[in-house]
Structure 1
């Protein structure tokens, strides 16, 4: 299930999604970076480590991938593709 609308607020540091079930979701950029689903970040978390992220990090580009979005962060990290279901389940 893909969202009806997606917005990226640089000022607030939030990704905003509106889902077909009427739910609106706001996800913080810093927490999205910490929860990156790429293999490198997942392996880091599986070892019990926390991805270190500066609070001022921002999503600088959102690239549609059909089944989700690739988020490009201000620290240069761009490896993660966030499937819609993954984003829907996050609470950041």
Structure 2
């Protein structure tokens, strides 16, 4: 299921995902880039750590340049380093974000903020992107 909205917090270099069940996730661009599910990134992760499901080392200055919906299936992020191959299916993205919350509870990681963090409401965003991301 797609999030109800995706909000681009450019000043924080992060996207906020708001889901129908009330869950909210904030994910930095660099964390999303390092979590890319494309075949090339999976192969790099496997070569580096033996685990294709892990994360690549984050690129320090990567920015999000575009968000492309992939039908009702998911979303494709385009990053400033030119990478645009990873498609994030909604189910995969939600599981990835939920897993991140468990591993890094609110305040434990600058790359993740849980829904309890003081971000305001999704509708109060500085740069809203495609609501419903369809």
| TM-score, structure 2 normalization | 0.63
Further displaced range: 40-49 or 58-67:
40-49
Question: Any residues of structure 2 matched to 1:34-53 within 5 Å, and which?
Answer: 34-49=34-49, 51-53=56-58
Residue 25 of structure 1: aligned partner? 25
More helix as a share of residues: 2
**Residue 102 of structure 2 is aligned to residue 70 of structure 1:** no
- Give 1 or 2 for the bigger CA radius of gyration: 2
Q: Which moved more, 1:5-14 or 1:43-52?
A: 43-52
Equivalent pair of 2:34/2:59 in contact (CA under 8 Å): no
Once residues 68 and 86 of structure 1 are traced to their aligned partners in structure 2, the CA distance between those partners, rounded to angstroms, is 9
Looking at both structures, which has the greater relative contact order when contacts are Cα pairs under 8 Å and sequence separation is at least 6? 2
> Offset at 1:52?
4.1
- Count of residues in correspondence between the two structures: 92
Q: Which moved more, 1:60-69 or 1:49-58?
A: 49-58
Superposed CA RMSD in Å reads: 1.5
Equivalent position of 1:61 in the other structure: 66
Contact 1:41 1:51 (8 Å CA) reproduced: yes
Deviation at 1:48, TM superposition (A): 2.8
> Residue 53 of structure 1: CA displacement?
3.6
Normalization by structure 1: what TM-score? 0.90
